[in-house]
Amino acid sequence: MIDYNYSSKLTMLQNIIIFWKRRNISPLGKITVVKSMLLPLFTHLFIALPSPGVHILNQIHNCFYNFIWDDPLKIKHNILIKPYEEGGLNMIDIYSFEKSMKLTWIKKLALCTGKCFVLVYSLFDVKKMLNMGNAYVQKIVKRLTNTFWKDVLNYYSIYVNTFKICTFDDVLNMPLFYNDNFKIGMNCIYDKNMYERGIRLVRDILCTSGGFKTKNDIENYTGKVLNFLFYEGVKRTVSDFIKKSSFATVNKSNTTGVFFSSYLNVIVFKAKPNKSIYSTYTFNKEKPTCQNKWNEIFNNIDWKFVHNFVFENSRDTYIQWLQTRIVHRILGTKSLLYKMKIVNDNLCSFCKKHEETLTHLFWECEHIQPIINYIKYSMNLNNINFPNISCQDVLLGICSEKMTPINILFLEMKRYVFICKKHSKIPTVPGLKNSFQLAWEIQKHTICQGSEFPNWSVVRLLINEPIT
Ligand SMILES: [Zn+2]
């Protein structure tokens, strides 16, 4: 049944892709198509049916991947799914997305009481599952035969396992029992009497001053005798954990009431729970390989800025994609195309003398330097305080808010140079000015907020400047 549901959607997916492939859009535009048109085909199935299994998810993943990249020069998937500032393009990871969709059921379980989940209540103890740590979830998963709920709990367990503690409240709201973080010897802690009297989270065994409740306090509260060794063991494992979480010991807040565990707090109360759960699943420590190469050429690169600035400063997808390819070193320079055996030589399209690397194409070439000099000259003439501009500034941007107009200027310059290369024309100063003029005309008619106009101040100065 699952395969049947998915196969019709997969056919639809392929048809939509054939339609969009005919249009000449950049991977950035295609990612928008994936997220707004292709992904919604599956959202409902992901929520309502058991996991389709790796073979179907692989098929969807491959369809997306082949759709986005018909160019042999690609960005790795693990990087592509990261946010802009980490060098990604916010691409969706279908495997994580499917998991995060299933977890919407955990929110429903946490909020709905009563009859709506009769079936689920017959399968496992929902309350315990929500109030305890991962070991308990695992225990249920092992004996569940219902594949749908097995998937939901399995994904919940992965989420709990990778949960990152961010605040001291997260520490206070850790489930005390069946939590892999709290062990006596090899075993997770659990005490039936304490649990039944409502002691569930770390905060429940702490006083308002932050210290532990005494053995007596707990015994008075539960009305049952507490094993001395158990009490000491709990104290030790919990205080070890608090120390390890490296938050300065903060006094426990005085608020009383019902608390959800830290895991559920994200799922139930966060404004966009799916997004933060999804990012827990996609998290990886991989860094874009381009960073190593640029670090060999330039100094002190602020990577967060370099990856992000084009998206902050331009809405033009041509510019965004051009700059992304420069940063990731996947722009089709002849140096790169020669290495890939796509062209017969690696010589610069303009001067035909030197290797056409990124730094040569946008800075060193004898046909580019006059353009840079013209820009410098015009700026001096207009009394613009201009730092000693470098190759790094032109290629990777200048990290300063004040420099936004200059960053925009060089983004536009690179557009002009790259278009010249594509049309086998030598870049010239009048050509550059025409290109700026056109870009500014388009800009004027597309931006609605006047606040963006100042960012174009330097480009505007340059087109009003007569050529000397
Ligand atoms: Zn050249």
**How is the chain split into domains, by residue range?**
2-102, 125-286, 290-464
196/194 Cα distance (integer angstroms): 6
> C-alpha dihedral over 346, 349, 354, 356, to 10 degrees?
-60
Does the pLDDT value for residue 148 go beyond 50? yes
| Confidence band of 211 (pLDDT split at 50, 70, 90) | confident
Cβ contact 94:10 at 8 Å: no
| Averaged pLDDT, 303-319 | 94
Does the pLDDT value for residue 25 go beyond 60? yes
Q: Give the angle subtended at the CA of 34 by the CAs of 25 and 396, to the nearest 5°.
A: 55
416/428 Cα distance (integer angstroms): 10
227/235 Cα distance (integer angstroms): 12
From the CA of 293, how far away is ligand 1's center (Å)? 21
From the CA of 427, how far away is ligand 1's center (Å)? 11
From the CA of 367, how far away is ligand 1's center (Å)? 7
From the CA of 345, how far away is ligand 1's center (Å)? 13
From the CA of 351, how far away is ligand 1's center (Å)? 4
Inter-residue long-range contacts of 153-161, CB under 8 Å, 24+ positions, other chains counted:
153/124, 153/129, 155/99, 155/102, 155/103, 156/103, 156/106, 158/99, 158/281, 159/99, 159/103, 159/263, 159/277, 159/280, 159/281, 160/133, 160/134, 160/263, 161/134
From the CA of 356, how far away is ligand 1's center (Å)? 6
| Averaged pLDDT, 324-346 | 95
Cβ contact 179:238 at 8 Å: no
Structure tokens at 181: 């973080």
Percent of the chain residues topping a pLDDT of 90: 66
Q: What pLDDT, in 10s, does the model give residues 337-349?
A: 999 999 999 999 9
CA-CA-CA-CA torsion sign (445, 450, 452, 456): positive
Cβ contact 290:329 at 8 Å: yes
- pLDDT at 46 (0 to 100): 95
From the CA of 346, how far away is ligand 1's center (Å)? 11
- pLDDT at 411 (0 to 100): 96
- pLDDT at 255 (0 to 100): 61
| Averaged pLDDT, 166-173 | 88
Does the pLDDT value for residue 249 go beyond 80? no
CA-CA-CA-CA torsion sign (265, 270, 273, 278): negative
187 sits in which H/E element: strand 187-188
From the CA of 415, how far away is ligand 1's center (Å)? 16
pTM of the complete model beyond 0.85: yes
Tell me what the pLDDT averaged over the chain comes to.
90
One-letter identity of residue 423: H
From the CA of 76, how far away is ligand 1's center (Å)? 30
Q: What pLDDT, in 10s, does the model give residues 35-86?
A: 999 999 999 999 999 999 999 999 999 999 999 998 788 999 999 999 999 9
CA distance between the termini of the chain: 74
From the CA of 288, how far away is ligand 1's center (Å)? 28
Judged on CB neighbours under 10 Å (0-12, 13-18, 19+), 361 is buried
Q: What are phi and psi of 444, to 5 degrees?
A: -55, -40
- pLDDT at 468 (0 to 100): 44
From the CA of 365, how far away is ligand 1's center (Å)? 4
- pLDDT at 366 (0 to 100): 96
Higher pLDDT, 385 or 94: 94
263/260 Cα distance (integer angstroms): 8
Highest mean pLDDT of the ranges 163-177, 204-218, 297-311, 396-410: 297-311
Does the pLDDT value for residue 418 go beyond 90? yes
Does the pLDDT value for residue 174 go beyond 60? yes
411/120 Cα distance (integer angstroms): 57
From the CA of 333, how far away is ligand 1's center (Å)? 11
Judged on CB neighbours under 10 Å (0-12, 13-18, 19+), 145 is exposed
| Averaged pLDDT, 170-197 | 93
61/348 Cα distance (integer angstroms): 37
From the CA of 360, how far away is ligand 1's center (Å)? 6
C-alpha distances in angstroms, 237 versus 232, 240, 245, 430? 9, 5, 12, 73
Does the pLDDT value for residue 441 go beyond 80? yes
- pLDDT at 467 (0 to 100): 44
If we measure between CA atoms, which residue out of 86, 29, 38 comes closest to residue 62? 38
From the CA of 337, how far away is ligand 1's center (Å)? 16
One-letter identity of residue 153: L
Q: What are phi and psi of 175, to 5 degrees?
A: -60, 140
Structure tokens at 16: 């939509």
| Confidence band of 114 (pLDDT split at 50, 70, 90) | low
468/458 Cα distance (integer angstroms): 18
Q: What pLDDT, in 10s, does the model give residues 360-400?
A: 999 999 999 999 999 988 888 877 777 688 999 999 999 98
| Averaged pLDDT, 114-123 | 78
From the CA of 366, how far away is ligand 1's center (Å)? 6
Of the listed ranges 32-41, 55-64, 119-128, 316-325, the least confidently predicted one is: 119-128
